[in-house]
A and B are shown apart, each in its own frame.
Chain A
Amino acid sequence: MSTAVESVKEIAEVPSFQVTLFVRRFDPENDAEPKWQDFDVTVFGTDRVLDALHKIKWELDGSLTFRRSCAHGVCGSDAMRINGRNRLACKTLIKDLDITQPIYVEPIKGLKVEKDLVVDMNPFYQAYRDVKPFLIASDSPTKERIQSPEDRARFDDTTKCILCAACTTSCPVFWTDNQYFGPAAIVNAHRFIFDSRDEAAEVRLDILNDKEGVWRCRTTFNCTEACPRGIEVTKAIAEVKQAVLRGRA
């Protein structure tokens, strides 16, 4: 176990610095319009944008409202627009942003703002539910359904989705047409359409052949760029389009 230890770089004292955050605020009980508010905070080199938001909430203004839970990119609750790009606040290190400029933080676009950085996720979840994101099989097995590693690999990428909505709310089609299923729902349909144990691929492909389905995708790749899990979202959508035309390969 010890050979590599000599190559350990000492993790030195973590430097701290000042940043300014401009946060888009909206209080439905008092504001007619959203407004920007700026906060100066001292952060450390290892801090994420989420840490800065916590610092504001816990030390400066308890009313700042945002969702978060796991704080390490697993639960998908803190997608927001940071400097104009959809990201998870808990996975965006402040030192990786341009800290000579203020950091702009706003809610993800295309969903109704509930309060500050919190949006109404219901339409997003509804599209997800509509593609039947669960295993559908007609038998009642008495032991586990065996699947080969190759068959499992077919949909591995899309199992990684954490339903953060970063993709769907970065999609220009979704911004203009809220009825569009959106990339996340298609990713989650892909996860079952290409699962060898599932029997309802046709049902899902039919749902996505709808006028608000896969054909609305304009291949702008915003979704792939936004995905904090590195899922090849656009590729998954393309595979679903192919499957609609030619059946599941």
Chain B
Amino acid sequence: MARAMANEVREGRGAGPNKDYVLLDLTHLEPAVIDAKLPDITEFARTYLGVEPYTEPVPVFPTAHYAMGGIPTNIKAEVLRDNDTVVPGLYAAGECACVSVHGANRLGTNSLLDINVFGKRAGIYAVEYAKDAKFVDVPEDAIAETVKLIEHMRNATGTEKIAVIRKELQDTMDKNAQVYRTEESLNEALDKIKELRKRYEHIQVQDRGMRFNTDLLEAIELGFLLDLAEVLAFTARERRESRGGHFREDYETRDDEKFMVHSMAYKTESDIKIDWKPVTITNYPPMERKY
């Protein structure tokens, strides 16, 4: 669906003055059906676009609303350091985690499955672990690194604005790592991220306060966004095939021989190192999607 919508716009058949969206026509549905099944989304159309979905088509376009991939875990929600070594006592579940229930594309509503099932499992196994886990010795300076990061940011007096860098990051990811990707577009994204990282070193934080400092929060978050964007673009580039939600125009078909694997990304001093983890297939072998 997302690909079909993006394709219409790309090939110049989009609607509106900038031809940058498509129209969703619900007018064949009874108002009562619309109210019962789509109350929120139709209210958005009314509030933000001034469009009445009973009688008018609604401008729509795909946007990111889920991050596939994340912190690798096993089915006990235990965080993995590599393909199979558990980090004792650390759990992840939900959108931040990747236990891989979604395969190569999350289907609608399945993120709630992820939260319910693996959130609960994380709780169960964390309790079990805590029962006989011993406190480990914490070094004197355990918080030093975090305090340093926060204090460094809080006092940052550079010239680069948080919102400007973030917008440029959003724009490059939107343009180059969205529904359609190529080696070239992903390289463009990676180059841009590198540039933004340099500029991020000269970030400006205006709020020096110690309480409820959202300026500082946004600055720190931006650093992590840059990390995540880089991992995403990097692993997408290395996966030279198309599969699930990942569509490469330069490699349009699925390549099970090379890429029936999970991408595992490791941060090194200067770069990202990529490794692969085999997919365990049990009852349901992946099949090509045909409609």
Contacts and interface: CB of A to CB of B under 8 A. Distances in A.
Contacts of B49: 11, 46
Interface stretch (A58-66, A131-139, A198-206, A233-241): A58-66
Nearest to A54: B163
B17 A12 contact: yes
Interface string B139-156: 000000000000000000
Given A4-B25, A114-B211, A10 B206 contact: no
A4 B55 CA distance: 8
B207 A62 contact: yes
B83 interface: no
A5 B57 contact: yes
A5 B23 contact: yes
A57 interface: yes
A8 B17 contact: no
A202 to B, nearest CB: 29
Contacts of B43: 73
A42 to B, nearest CB: 15
A34 interface: no
A72 B27 contact: no
Contact of B57 (A8, A12, A58, A115): A8
B17 to A, nearest CB: 6
Interface in A83-142: 91, 93, 114-115, 118
A118 B214 CA distance: 11
Given A11-B17, A62-B205, A29 B210 contact: yes
B59 interface: yes
Nearest to B40: A74
Contacts of A12: 17
Given A27-B209, A115-B212, A118-B212, A58 B163 contact: yes
Contacts of A4: 25, 27, 55-57
A27 B163 CA distance: 22
B215 to A, nearest CB: 4
Contacts of B214: 57, 65-66
Given A4-B55, A4-B57, A118-B212, A91 B47 contact: yes
B88 to A, nearest CB: 32
Contacts of B47: 73, 91, 93
Nearest to A61: B206
Contacts of A66: 214
A136 to B, nearest CB: 19
Give the interface SS of chain A, mostly helix, strand, loop or mixed: loop
A247 interface: no
A186 B55 CA distance: 37
Contacts of A59: 161, 163
Contacts of B44: 72-73
B16 A63 contact: no
Contacts of A5: 23, 25, 57
Interface string B156-176: 000001110000000000000
Nearest to B214: A65
A163 B162 CA distance: 30
Contact of A13 (B15, B17, B162, B212): B17
B284 interface: no
Interface in A1-23: 1-5, 7-13
A72 B47 CA distance: 9
A91 B47 CA distance: 7
A54 B23 CA distance: 29
A28 B48 CA distance: 35
A8 B15 contact: yes
A45 B213 CA distance: 30
A28 B25 contact: no
Nearest to A58: B163
B162 A58 contact: yes
Given A4-B55, A5-B57, A46 B15 contact: no
B287 to A, nearest CB: 30
A83 B193 CA distance: 41
B48 A46 contact: yes
B160 to A, nearest CB: 12
A4 B161 CA distance: 45
Contacts of A57: 163, 214-215
Contacts of B40: 74
B212 A65 contact: yes
A4 B27 CA distance: 7
Interface of B: 15-17, 23, 25, 27, 40, 43-44, 47-49, 55-57, 59, 161-163, 204-207, 209-215
Given A3-B27, A11-B49, A28-B211, 11 more contacts: A4-B27, A4-B56, A29-B211, A58-B162, A59-B161, A62-B162, A62-B205, A63-B209, A65-B207, A66-B214, A118-B212
12 contacts: A5-B23, A8-B15, A9-B56, A11-B17, A13-B17, A54-B163, A57-B214, A61-B206, A62-B207, A62-B215, A72-B48, A91-B47
